[in-house]
Amino acid sequence: MNRRIKSFFALALAWLVCAGGVGADQFVLTSKDLGPGLTRMQVFSGFGCNGENISPSLSWSNAPDGTKSFAVTVYDPDAPKAGGWWHWLIFNIPANVSGLAAGAGNPGNGLAPGGSIQSLNDFGSRGFGGACPPKGDRPHRYIFTVYALDVPSLGLDQNALPSEVKHMIDSHTLAKASIVSIYGRQ
C-alpha cells in the first residue's frame, strides 16, 4: 500500500510539472478535464469498465515556428501488452487550431477539427478509447501528448495502425507537450 501511495504522489508531481511548471515560451498542453487521476468521464465503456468514454478537453499554446499541423495521442505504457496500449490517435489537426473540445474523440459527433483524422486505436476502433486497465493491476499512467508537426498531413488515413501513425509523428515532430494522469481498478 505504501508503494502505491508513493507512486501516486510521484505521478501527481509529474502531472504538475507537465501541466504548469514550464516557461512562458515553451510548448504547453493543458486540460480543464484532467488532473493527477482520470475521472469516470475518461474511463472506457466496455470490457468490464463502466465509464463514459469521453475524451477530455485539451488546449495547447506556444507552438514552435514552422508548425504546419498537430497530432494528439493517448498512450498507456503500463498495459500488459508489449509496446503499451494506444487509446487515441488524431492527426492532421490544422495549424490554426489550439485545442480539442471534450468529446472530440468520438468521430461521429463532429467536434473534431475539420480535416483531422482519427485512426485505429488498440481497441480496434477509431477515436478515443478510455482507460480500462486490468482489475487489481497497479494504477496505469495515461500520457496525453500533443505534437507540433512540420507537415500539414501525415499522408495516412483512418485505417492506419497505431505503429504507422506514431512512426510518421516521430518523423515530423518539432516539439511535444504532455500531461500524465493515472487510473486503476480494484
pLDDT digits (tens, 9 = 90+) for 33-52: 999 999 999 999 998 999 99
* φ, ψ at 36 (rounded to 5°): -60, -30
pLDDT for position 186:
78
pLDDT for position 141:
98
pLDDT for position 6:
47
pLDDT for position 110:
95
With 0.75 as the threshold, say if the pTM is over it: yes
- Residue 87 sits in a domain of what CATH number? 3.90.280.10
145-173 confidence digits (pLDDT tens) = 999 999 999 999 999 999 999 999 999 99
Q: Is 58 left (phi over 0), alpha (psi -120 to 50) or beta?
A: beta
pLDDT for position 11:
45
* φ, ψ at 147 (rounded to 5°): -120, 130
> Which residue has 468521464 as its cell numbers?
41
Q: Strand, coil or helix: what is 41?
A: helix
pLDDT for position 61:
98
Q: Strand, coil or helix: what is 5?
A: helix
Residue 160 near residue 64 (C-beta atoms within 8 A):
no
pLDDT for position 24:
61
Please calculate the CA angle 169-127-93 and round it to the nearest 5 degrees: 45
For the chain, the domain total comes to 1
Can you list the residues of the chain whose pLDDT is less than 70?
1-24
Range of the domain at 136: 2-183
* φ, ψ at 67 (rounded to 5°): -70, 125
Q: Which three cell numbers stand for residue 82?
A: 508489449
